[in-house]
Amino acid sequence: MNREEAIVNSICGRFPFLADRIYIQKDKRIFTKSLLREEFEQVIAYVHDELNFTRVSHVVGTDDGENLGLLYIFSGSEDILLILRESVPKSNPVIKSISDMYPSIVLHERELVDLFGVVVEGLPEGPHYPLPDGWPEGNYPMRKEWNPKHFNKDTMTYEEPQEKEVQKNE
């Protein structure tokens, strides 16, 4: 049994529901398929405390239309990356901040707030990052439905053209 399999086995032993959703993509890369919020919170605590994945190097946001996907990349003392995916519905995109375990993630979580409109519970109040000061509320440039062509940079307002709404109603 190599190192990757040992890690997968220990995660599956603790969380049997993950057995068909965790896979070794190639050498040193362990992926999971999308987890729900509650599952994700349990797994992350275990991974941090027991398996020593104490660093987070990236958070990637994705938008598949109905759900927002979050992809967290963890590393630890060994050269193995563990990639956990979380999925939240766009209508209620609430996640819990993991900055108590990984202090460096605050910057990434702010990016999720600004660019994808994710609501991060437990994230301290702070300025816009990386969007500029004075950016209008409710505009999330990395979401699929947001079109930069409709954004007026001088007045900082977003206006969808009228015809598009007519098409939607039909």
Contacts with another protein by CB under 8 A lie at 131-133, 135, 141, 146, 148-149, 151, 153, 156
Closer by beta carbon to another protein, 26 or else 149: 149
Tokens encoding 34: 């999308």
For another protein, the closer CB: 17 or 135: 135
Supply the minimum distance, in Å, between the C-beta of residue 11 and another protein: 38
Closest distance of CB 156 from another protein, Å: 8
Characterize 108-122 residue by residue with b for buried, 16 or more Cβ atoms within 10 angstroms of its Cβ, and e for exposed.
bbbbbbbbbbbebee
DSSP code string of 66-118:
SEEEEEEEEE-SSS-EEEEEEEEETTS-EEE--TTT-GGGHHHHHHHHHHH--
Local structure of 158: helix, strand or coil: strand
Find, among 5, 11, 54, the residue nearest to 35 by Cα: 11
User: Shortest Cβ distance from residue 132 to another protein (Å)?
Assistant: 4
Task: Give the residue with the Cβ less far from another protein, 3 or 128.
Answer: 128
Nearer to another protein, 94 or 156 (CB): 156
Minimal distance, residue 3 CB to another protein, in Å: 37
